[in-house]
Amino acid sequence: MDAPSPTVLDIPHGLPARGVVTAPRSKSHAIRLLVAASLADGVSTIWHLPDADDVRAVLRALRALGIAIHEQGPEVLVHGCAGRLPERPGASGGSDVVLDVGGSGTGLRVLAAVCCLGRGPYVLDGDASLRARPVGSVLDVVRGLGCEARTTDGRPPLRISGGPARRLPSGLACPDVSMSSQPLTALLLTAAALREGTLDLRVPRAHASLGYVDLTLDVLAAFGVPHVRDDAVPASGGGSRTVLRSQGGGLRAADATVEGDWSSAAYLLAAAAVSGGDVSVTGLGRDSSQPDARILGILEQMGALTDGGEHAVRCRGTGRLRGVRVSLRGAPDLAPLVGALGCVAEGETEVVEAPHLRIKESDRIASIVAAARAVGRPAREREDGFVIEGRAATGGLVDPRGDHRIAMAFAVAGLAIPDVRLCDAGCVAKSYPGFWRDLGRLSGMGDASA
């Protein structure tokens, strides 16, 4: 694994962000499309795959599983395995097939379940940041599908053996989604590849980021696997709020285009809000299931002006932002940006109901508070979020702790706070390799990382 760059970057300050930029493609959508296409029957075409590190890691892992994937310019051809992972050389003799997913938590959890469709044994591993993150309830998914799973103190590397699963066991329960929805996404994608059985899950009220499950359901529908979602189920009997039902039968090959990424676009829109600028982002669908589309409402609540149509959105700064209190249980990836906006806003900014921020690429509650203090703003941790008080008047050196979202969020804050410096600027490549180019163009400074 490459060591983080020691370079310290001075954030350009004082110019309003203005212009039109195309949203990068969504890594969350891309990973789900790649996995669905790999498990489908036939050859699928995926258009406009992003060049993010997480997506590249999942591509490598799928190829290590024996999936044939050919990249031809903007299109990627995926030869699906029809729900049966190819026999790998040495696997039948007990040798491990090693999958390196880099820093991708989504890749780790989803592919752990997918490995139940092969003979294995498989070992899933990644970089130092991934090895520090708990595997969570995906272990229950793997075991529920009839396979064995072993970890090191509940963290990667993760070894899976005992497959292949050929039908859905009866009575499968919804995995624990209190800290992450990814185990449920892993189960839904893998279950869809099985030819026999029906999935009937009750999803508890206490969930994290369930909007990403909606994104998974949209992908499955594109590959011919419809789901019935009933949100009207009474809350009695364990507090269930949603029932998901799926009939087995396998996925069908499809052609699909990766959506524009709301998670990345949020930083560009916020750049206008903090600097008094005017930014339009094209390539976004307002009807997307991506949870981070919530950023428009948050920016409006803080005092910015937003509007847009079917394919583009716009944000205009008014020269003044006010603090907010917001629950980010369903959209935790917005927390670093809300924290950075709070460093520019007047009054107090508070994020609540997001304890799962502790187990992201960094402990994001601690990282956000440390970054806010670094730019001169009083801040404190909460068990389920953080509080940022008073407007920052001076900048300082921000260490994103290798976390791409902390780096991008406080780069945006640096447009409005003088003398903000950022180390390890290259960590943004995990999700948004073109971030510095786009931010530099909008701020009139060229490529901000050059």
Instruction: Tell me if domain 8-24+260-443 and domain 27-257 are identical in fold.
Output: yes
Contact between 410 and 400 (Cβ < 8 Å): yes
CA–CA gap between residue 16 and residue 124 (Å, rounded) = 45
Provide the residue ranges of all domains of the chain, joining segments of one domain with +: 8-24+260-443, 27-257
Residue 2 has pLDDT above 60, yes or no: no
Q: Give per-residue pLDDT as tens, 120-164.
A: 899 999 998 899 888 878 999 999 999 999 998 889 999 999 889
CA–CA gap between residue 18 and residue 249 (Å, rounded) = 50
| DSSP summary character for residue 289 | -
Options 3.40.50.300, 2.60.120.10, 3.90.580.10, 3.65.10.10; which CATH number does 8-24+260-443 get? 3.65.10.10
CA atoms within 13 A on the CB side of 262: 23
| DSSP summary character for residue 294 | G
Options 3.40.80.10, 3.65.10.10, 1.10.3720.10, 3.30.420.10; which CATH number does 27-257 get? 3.65.10.10
Buried b (16+ CB within 10 A) or exposed e, 280-318: bbebbbeebbbbbbbbbebbeebbbebebeeebbbbbbe
CA–CA gap between residue 330 and residue 207 (Å, rounded) = 8
Give the pLDDT confidence score for residue 4 in this predicted structure. 37
Average of per-residue pLDDT across 279-301:
90
Residue 6 has pLDDT above 50, yes or no: no
381 phi, psi to nearest 5 deg: -85, 150
Residue 109 has pLDDT above 90, yes or no: yes
Q: Give per-residue pLDDT as tens, 320-339.
A: 999 999 999 888 899 999 99
Residue 234 has pLDDT above 50, yes or no: no
Q: Which of 53, 333, 424, 438 is catalytic?
A: 333
Give percent of the chain above pLDDT 70: 90
363 is catalytic: no
How many Cβ atoms from other residues are within 10 Å of residue 319's Cβ? 8
What does the DSSP assignment read for 421-438?
EEE-GGGGGGT-TTHHHH
Average of per-residue pLDDT across 268-272:
97
With 0.75 as the threshold, say if the pTM is over it. yes
Contact between 237 and 378 (Cβ < 8 Å): no
